[in-house]
Chains A and B, each alone.
Chain A
């Protein structure tokens, strides 16, 4: 690596487009929002930057605090489910013969390339009152003559509640969780597992004392890759959740699109970003601890 001073022309030619774009079309817009979060609404379109903290304080109003709490709760549940489902999947893929492995990985990663909106829409068709799940259930209901016992079939309310939101986010982000865990398990030195078996450990014990502690960094990455986008969810709760399961992202969007309270939306938006950064700041700690491992205890 050389100092930029040696070839300033080359340096600027390479760097300027990126620096320019990043500042003008990313940092400045964020700066606008940041300033606005300290502003007050004056009339329909006028906003005065007064330096007030009112917008941030409003976020602690019980109504919004409840939504914040719900957002965190949903994100935690989603993350847990992604790890619990994703780890065994990653494990099986990593230990498959190479040919099978390629196909399994492809099968897991394929949805990742498909538009999130479309995947969410596909779920609506499955879950709605007259969707495939209820249709199948009704058919089974009729087949088993349960209507004689319990009366006519009542479709399960599977949409517009927290269940739908949680299912939707897991559905969309599961590939994100599988990939880093797969990478960690795949990297694992197989001779360590053999050594454990050779020293008398059963499969289960080997998993607990060797595999799991040594793949913690993969789990930590998976947690972050799911938890952070889950916190910022907007589309999935908007389409699958409805007002009952709104998350913070929906509240922010509402301030800009419907309520027209930009300063408050800006403040919420920055609170969400601060939360994201805080989690990212914990990451090195998480990963380092994982790398060191504590499995021997």
Chain B
């Protein structure tokens, strides 16, 4: 369904139609249609076991689908062996040949093409320069650091000048700092080469920061295919909303709806008016019926936190006087994780009408030292946010 909607989009390098693959009783990939566009950085994101790696291996030709077709550059390659496909892969474990030097590893694929010695040498040099590994040609993989191995794997795949570069969790074996560095480098490399990258990852930050488009997968299906900002701000369902970033959910009941907006009742809080743009699912306002159960959600960083008692000027302060704080809850800080740049709190808030206690996730910038020092666990606080900052998910 995602594919058909984008028929007129830029030319697809890889097209998948009805791809299905089962392992015994487990369906790893359950009927996927997908078009990957020329020159984009595409990410397959999902929890482990969602089928993303299987899908990547099917594109590479390392796994044959039980049903469906794969087109690369318009040619049907469903049954083409991996060694005859114009795609190359960076393996999760890098899969560097331990008995070959760096240069031999990178040259391996070219040698198989039967190129002249001088041409191979030149292209190997270029590829190693591209990943900034000059001078390590004669090392063996076991004498390299994790980051260097990763670059060799990258060079080895890139040197083949593939139509699509496939990356299977390429950063998962690196430590946090190096991962950050490689993220920027991969993005820069992709832009410089203008090559199509397909990245498989379970790390939402990785996908959000690098990819042009992301397919969020679950149980062998694509839950949502969108740009990073779209996934975060307009998740189509609870799974996507929860998988990408943190979020707070509230059950509510629809009371009134028109083309301007909707009016819902938040049990325990009261009635709330929302603009129609908060409705991010596929269902249109017109499809909704009064009395429908809706899920409202708010991202933790969109919640304003202030000390109980001094919230008088909160509205103008935070929302520039544009939006009012439609929701206002009082509570106590129950947990507090300090991350340096930001703080993440769990506030036990009491719903004003019912007295029910809800745990609400709040994130705030540690912009000034004082703000951090102002709060302590157990402090009474006020949470507030404008209704327009919430999103509506149909259940």
Contacts and interface: CB of A to CB of B under 8 A. Distances in A.
> Do A and B have CB atoms closer than 8 angstroms in the complex?
yes
Contact of B82 (A194, A209, A294): A194
A295 B100 contact: yes
Given A194-B62, A293-B99, A296-B101, A200 B160 contact: yes
Contact of A195 (B81, B84, B89): B89
Contacts of A293: 98-100
Contact of B99 (A194, A197, A294): A294
B278 to A, nearest CB: 45
A197 B97 CA distance: 12
B104 A296 contact: yes
Contacts of A210: 97
B217 interface: no
A295 B97 CA distance: 10
A189 B88 contact: no
A205 B97 contact: no
For chain A, the bracket of interface size reads 20 to 34
Contacts of B87: 198
Interface string A207-224: 001100110000000000
Interface residues of B, number: 28
A201 interface: yes
B163 to A, nearest CB: 13
Contacts of A196: 97, 108
B82 A197 contact: yes
B113 interface: yes
Contacts of A214: 97-99
B388 to A, nearest CB: 49
Contacts of B62: 194, 197-198
Interface in B54-98: 60-62, 81-84, 87-89, 91-93, 95-98
Contact of B91 (A194, A200, A209): A194
A294 B104 CA distance: 11
Interface in B88-137: 88-89, 91-93, 95-101, 104, 108-109, 112-113
B83 A198 contact: yes
Contact of B88 (A199, A201, A294): A199
A192 interface: yes
24 contacts: A189-B93, A191-B91, A192-B95, A194-B60, A195-B97, A197-B82, A198-B60, A198-B62, A198-B87, A198-B88, A199-B109, A199-B156, A199-B157, A200-B83, A200-B84, A201-B112, A202-B83, A209-B108, A210-B97, A214-B97, A294-B99, A295-B99, A295-B100, A296-B100
Nearest 8 interchain pairs by C-beta: A293-B99, A199-B109, A195-B95, A191-B95, A296-B100, A296-B104, A200-B112, A197-B82
Interface of B: 60-62, 81-84, 87-89, 91-93, 95-101, 104, 108-109, 112-113, 156-157, 160
